[in-house]
Amino acid sequence: MKCTLGLGLVLLVESWLEPTLTSSSLQTSASLCIDFCISTMVTNKRTGFVWKLSVVYGSPYQEGKRAFIDKLHSILGAWSGPIIVGGHFNLVRLLSDKNSQIINFRWGDPLMTWVSKWGLIPQILCTLGPITKRT
């Protein structure tokens, strides 16, 4: 596993994904930490391929969700190249996202509008399952 750093972000690449990739062949630059997001530009120095990695953490509180959705749009609006956006969105899209039947779907539609508008492909790469405090 190879690693490169960018403003509090650790980028790990499995060597089986790219056998010729070494820690010296990736470069991160233009790291930015604003509100709900840490972003960095990643360059494969061997091929010159540049992409953006943005890691987000959505507000767990209702009053911060609109600002978070707006931030998601600005992340994509400011970059026209390849991008990976990941993290904890703190938004419920589906009933299966929670382990209780107490769900506020208010923010699911704006999230899916963001996904559709920017032509994103949702992928759940790792999950511990829904984490919800039962009362």
Bigger pLDDT: 135 vs 11: 11
The residue written with tokens 């990976």 in the block is: 84
Q: Which two tokens stand for residue 105?
A: 């779907």
- State both tokens at 35: 């509100």
For residue 104, which of 112, 116, 93, 96 has the smallest C-alpha distance? 93
CB atoms within 10 A of CB 54: 21
Chain segment 80-114, per-residue pLDDT in tens? 899 888 888 888 777 776 777 777 778 888 988 99
Quickly state the pLDDT bin for 17 (edges 50, 70, 90): very low
**How large a percentage of the chain has pLDDT more than 90?**
15
